[in-house]
A = this chain, B = another copy of it.
Amino acid sequence: MIRFHDIVKDDLAILGLPLDHNSSYMTGPALAPSRMREALHCGSANLTSESGFDLGMEPRWKDIGDLSFTNVENSLDEIEQVASDVLSRGAKLLSIGGDHSVSGPLIRAHTKTYPGLNILHFDAHSDLYDEMDGNRNSHACPFARAMETGQVKRLVQVGIRTLNKHQKEQAERFGVEIIAMKDWSTEVLFDFDGPLYLSIDLDVLDPAFAPGVSHHEPGGMSVRDLLNSLYKLNADLIGADIVELNPHRDLVGMTAMVAAKLTKEVSAKLLGK
């Protein structure tokens, strides 16, 4: 169903990833792509970013639909394959929805195209577990998998507020840089040498702003602080994902609107606007 034929050089492809079988606590993120599209095109908002860039008028901004997995076991491999296909056309990829396990294959695909890849990761959790409930592809593990490739130059995690002993050891082992939520403010600036991949887990936000996530972890950032931090980001942004929207807990659709807003703003960034 993916409209590959639409993608050409310099495009930004928006790809839905309806997958949540690697979630440890609660399913739901598989429903995220359709809810994010619904919110993106909601009659109560428009498609202009806060920088004044109208995505609705931008021919390079292309929604290529959802990935239809042929097989649950191979789903992460299929994601890597699709991402590689998009990148091989000279386009960028912004994937939306799914649980955080999707970031493993997405990052693998990007490291192959972009040597010296840096990662900026917003999340309440480090997601550095070696395994969770016996599943090495769990949404609690993608950054362990990414770091094991040896192809990631720097991984900077922001907003973390649940670091336990095991994950702290993993962070030390992989040289992960962690900016805990308690030490963060919008004054913290990031400086990356080389290409940057951005991964946003919506639970980096306080549950007040994003109740529609599987893991409510109070004490997170506000939407405004996250947005302003992104606006200040001065880097060669080459790809991104926005994950962990869980519509089951999003009673009035508020979190879907947050995810859509981030999709617009990150899209503008990826398109250099």
Contact = CB atoms under 8 A, between A and B. Distances in A.
Contacts of A168: 52
Contact of A45 (B26, B162, B227, B257): B162
Q: Is the interface of A mostly helix, strand, loop or mixed?
A: loop
A142 interface: no
Interface stretch (A85-93, A96-104, A107-115, A205-213): A205-213
Contacts of A249: 248, 252
Interface string A3-37: 00000000000000000000011111011001001
A227 B124 CA distance: 15
A31 B38 contact: yes
A216 interface: yes
A261 B216 CA distance: 10
Interface in A152-182: 161-165, 168, 180-182
Best-buried of A54, A216, A258 by chain B (most CB within 10 Å): A216
A236 interface: no
A253 interface: yes
Interface in A169-208: 180-182, 206-208
Interface in A226-254: 227-228, 231, 247-249, 251-254
Contacts of A227: 182, 219
A45 to B, nearest CB: 6
A58 interface: no
Contacts of A43: 24-25, 27, 30
By Cβ-Cβ distance, the 6 closest A-B pairs, closest first, are: A48-B164, A44-B215, A208-B208, A25-B44, A218-B223, A218-B258
